[in-house]
C-alpha cells in the first residue's frame, strides 16, 4: 500500500459537492505504468488549490475502471469537454473523511520546510519506493498523522436513537449541519472575520485544551434552510458565526417548538452561569 498526494483545482472540479453527494469518485489515471499509478488499497490525500490551499480529503483506492466514467459525475466538472475528451482509464476512490486544519495548509508546509517556496503542490506524488528521509515521504507521513489525529468534521453527535430498542456497541447517530456551514471557503472567511472563540459562551479550544486544539471550532449558519432561495449565496460576515460544538447543538435545538437564535442562547448561557449546579457532579 502507498500514500498519494493529489491536487484538485478549486475552479475546475467541485470536490466539496462531489464528496458530499457521492459514495465513490472516479479519478483519471494518467500513467499506464502500473507501478507508477494508483493501486488497490492505496490511500489518496487531496490538496485543494487556492483559495483553500489545504489538504482536506482522504480517499482509498478500491477499484479500476477501463474507459468507463459515470455520466452523473460530469456535473461536478466546470469544463465538461475535459472529461469527455479523456481516453484513459480511471481509479475508483472510496471516500474516508474530510478535515480542515491549518497544519494541512500549504503555508504550514512552507513554515515547517516540508516543501520549497517554488512548490505549488501541483500534480501527483507518492511515497511508494521512497526512503524514510525522502522529502515526499516526510510530507506524506505528516499528512497521514494529521488525519489520524482528527477525523472530526463539522458534525456533532446527537442523542441515542430512542426508537431503536437495541443499542449495538459503537452505534451512533449524527446530525449533518447544512452545506453552507461546511463550505470551506465561506467557513475560512467567517473564522478570518470572527476568530475561533465561541460567539455564545466565549470558549476557546486553544486556551482550554492547549495548542494542539488551536483553530478547532464549528461554524453555524444563522438562517433557517426554509428561508433560503435557490439563488442564495452565503455571506460569511452576516450569515455565519463561530460556535463551539455544545452551543452549536443547542442552536439546532428548538425552544418550545421555536428555533432558538444566537442572542437568545447567549442570554440563557449568561443566566445559567450563576447556577452552582453547573460545577457540581452530585446534581
What is the band of 6 on the pLDDT scale with cuts at 50, 70, 90?
A: very high
User: What's the full length of the chain, in residues?
Assistant: 283
pTM tops 0.95: no
Q: What per-residue confidence (pLDDT) applies to 260? A: 84
What is the band of 228 on the pLDDT scale with cuts at 50, 70, 90?
A: low
Query: Is 251 in a helix, a strand, or coil?
Result: helix
pLDDT in tens, 144-199: 988 875 444 433 333 333 344 343 444 433 344 556 666 777 888 888 899 999 99
Cβ atoms of residues 240 and 186 within 8 Å: yes
The dihedral sign for the CA sequence 139, 140, 146, 149: negative
pLDDT in tens, 233-258: 778 899 899 999 899 888 887 777 67
pLDDT in tens, 14-44: 998 888 888 889 888 765 444 468 999 999 9
pLDDT in tens, 90-122: 889 998 888 888 889 999 999 999 999 999 999
Whole-angstrom distance, CA of residue 185 vs CA of residue 50: 10
Residue 134 has pLDDT above 80, yes or no: yes
Amino acid at each position: 500500500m502507498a500514500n498519494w498526494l493529489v491536487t484538485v483545482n478549486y475552479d475546475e472540479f467541485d470536490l466539496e459537492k462531489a464528496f458530499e453527494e457521492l459514495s465513490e469518485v472516479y479519478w483519471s489515471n494518467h500513467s499506464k505504468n502500473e507501478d507508477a499509478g494508483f493501486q488497490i488499497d492505496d490511500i489518496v490525500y487531496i490538496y485543494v488549490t487556492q483559495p483553500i490551499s489545504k489538504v482536506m480529503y482522504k480517499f482509498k483506492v478500491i477499484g479500476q475502471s477501463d474507459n468507463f466514467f459515470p455520466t452523473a459525475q460530469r456535473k461536478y466538472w466546470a469544463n465538461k469537454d475535459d472529461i469527455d475528451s479523456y481516453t484513459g482509464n480511471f481509479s475508483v476512490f472510496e471516500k474516508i473523511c474530510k478535515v480542515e486544519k491549518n497544519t494541512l495548509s500549504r503555508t504550514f508546509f512552507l513554515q515547517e520546510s516540508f516543501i520549497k517556496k517554488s512548490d505549488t503542490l501541483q500534480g501527483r506524488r507518492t511515497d511508494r519506493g521512497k526512503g524514510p528521509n525522502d522529502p515526499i515521504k516526510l510530507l506524506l507521513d505528516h499528512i497521514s498523522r494529521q488525519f489520524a489525529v482528527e477525523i472530526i468534521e463539522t458534525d456533532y453527535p446527537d442523542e441515542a436513537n430512542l426508537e431503536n430498542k437495541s443499542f449495538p456497541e459503537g452505534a451512533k447517530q449524527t446530525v449533518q449541519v447544512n452545506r453552507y456551514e461546511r463550505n470551506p471557503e465561506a467557513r475560512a472567511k467567517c473564522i478570518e472575520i470572527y476568530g475561533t472563540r465561541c460567539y455564545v459562551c466565549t470558549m476557546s479550544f486553544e486556551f482550554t485544551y492547549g495548542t494542539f486544539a488551536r483553530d478547532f471550532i464549528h461554524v453555524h449558519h444563522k438562517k433557517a434552510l426554509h428561508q433560503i432561495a435557490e439563488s442564495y449565496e452565503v455571506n460569511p460576515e452576516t450569515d455565519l458565526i463561530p460556535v463551539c460544538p455544545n452551543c452549536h447543538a443547542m442552536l439546532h435545538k428548538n425552544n418550545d417548538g421555536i428555533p432558538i437564535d444566537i442572542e437568545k442562547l447567549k442570554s440563557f448561557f449568561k443566566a445559567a452561569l450563576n447556577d452552582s449546579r453547573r460545577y457540581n457532579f452530585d446534581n
